[in-house]
Amino acid sequence: MAKSEEITLDCPVAYTLSVLGGKWKWLIIYLLCEQGTLRYGELKRRLSGITHKMLSQQLKELETEQLIARKEYHQIPPKVEYSLTEKGQTLIPILDLMCDWGEMNWPKANLSLE
């Protein structure tokens, strides 16, 4: 990008950030990438610190963008599962690069990958 070029809301990076910005969306995608299909409660349990409202909002936004699929089973108690769509799976190479970058740049004092 040239130094004189302005970043506007119609550039690809801004669009990507509008779809995937925030603390939780990438973590949700990561969990679904690693685990395949997860129920709502399992996502909530694995995402330490996320509120019910925030998780519901993030899942709805990811579903609206067709990055995750929501499958509802009509039974008692209700059962809902989430998984990555084909479009969502296109984010896996980016997620892999983010993981590589994090491993290379994570402060050694905080490094605990086990």
The tens digit of pLDDT for each residue in 61-112 reads 999 999 999 999 989 888 999 999 999 999 999 999 999 999 998 887 555 5
Quickly state the pLDDT bin for 114 (edges 50, 70, 90): very low
10 Å CB burial of residue 83 (0-12, 13-18, 19+) is: middle
10 Å CB burial of residue 20 (0-12, 13-18, 19+) is: middle
Q: For the domain 12-110, what is the CATH code?
A: 1.10.10.10
The dihedral built from the CA positions of residue 113, 96, 33 and 18, taken in this order, carries a sign that is positive
The domain limits of the chain are: 12-110
- Lookup: tokens for 85: 């769509």
In percent, the amount of the chain with pLDDT more than 70 equals 87
Q: How far is CA 83 from the centre of its chain?
A: 11
